[in-house]
Amino acid sequence: MRERRTRVVCVIDGSNLFRALRVRGLPTRLHYTRLGIAIAKLLPPSLSPWVYLETTYVTASPRKSDGPERFQRWRRFQESLDKTDRLTLRLGRLEGPRGQVHEKGVDTIVTTTLLSGVLRDTYDVAILVSADGDFAPAIDEVRAHKKEVFVAFFGDASSYHLRQSANGFRDLSALDYDDLRLLHSKDRRPPRIAINSPRS
């Protein structure tokens, strides 16, 4: 009989993570599937063996009217995300006058991604990369349905409420960001480390 593996997914609050990386002088263009796998390796041994299924990257697209150069940088970034294996890009929107824009819909997409996975039974463990404490009620609901959620972010910027709601917290400071760069030479082929087994 084949051994059942814990199904792991990762949901990334893209703008939240981007700002945290930039403030720390870390690369902001990462291979986000590889990032999710790196975090999964930090999960408790009791969840092994596991299989990494998918990354969902949620952000808001800049508007062309807010600056052509910024929009072109975004388009190049979006193209790289579209080519990343096992990654789904989901977009909110920006609203407001230039210089005073704010994101709309991103929090809703993150929440519905977590909850729809519960309803469809598409994962056992979700990794949420965010420091937004507003997601705590969504985590409570996911856990009420016998799924597990681990929050991952930088410890000095993490949300207390988010950490309290989750099954555990993983500090992103522990990761090697040079190895996670989007243009790393290993990105010429899909990541091979997708399955974890205590016997491997």
| Tens digits of residue pLDDT in 46-61 | 999 999 999 999 988 7
Residue 133 lies in a domain: yes
Cα(200)–Cα(198) distance, rounded to whole angstroms? 6
Q: Is residue 35 within 8 Å of residue 68, measured between CB atoms? A: no
User: Cα 170 vs. chain centroid, distance in angstroms?
Assistant: 13
Instruction: Give all strands (DSSP E) within the chain, no chain letters.
Output: 6-13, 50-60, 87-95, 102-104, 125-129, 148-153, 168-171, 195-196
Cα(163)–Cα(145) distance, rounded to whole angstroms? 18
Residue 71 lies in a domain: yes
Q: CA dihedral in degrees (43, 159, 147, 197; nearest 10)?
A: -10
Please state the pTM of the whole predicted model. 0.87
For the record, the structure tokens of 24 come out as 């720390």
Residue 1 lies in a domain: no
What string of pLDDT tens digits covers the 200 residues of the chain? 567 899 999 999 998 999 999 999 999 889 999 999 999 999 999 999 999 999 999 988 776 666 777 778 878 888 888 888 999 999 876 565 566 555 667 899 999 999 999 999 999 999 999 999 999 999 999 999 999 999 999 999 999 999 999 999 999 999 999 999 986 444 444 454 456 655 43
CATH classification at residue 177: 3.40.50.1010
Residue 32 lies in a domain: yes
Q: Is residue 126 within 8 Å of residue 18, measured between CB atoms? A: no
**Coarse DSSP helix, strand, coil percentages of the chain, rounded to the nearest 5 percent:** 40, 25, 35
For residue 56, what are the contacts with CB-CB under 8 A and spacing of at least 6? 9, 10, 11, 12, 87, 88, 90, 113
Residue 131 lies in a domain: yes
Cβ burial, residue 39 (10 Å; 0-12/13-18/19+): buried
- Inter-helix orientation angle 136-144/106-120, to 10°: 0
For the record, the structure tokens of 117 come out as 């996975």
pLDDT tens per residue across span 103-131: 667 899 999 999 999 999 999 999 999 99
Residue 83 lies in a domain: yes
pLDDT given for residue 60 in this prediction: 81
136: containing domain? 6-196
pLDDT given for residue 182 in this prediction: 81
Residue 164 lies in a domain: yes
Q: How many domains would you assign to the chain?
A: 1
Residue 93 lies in a domain: yes
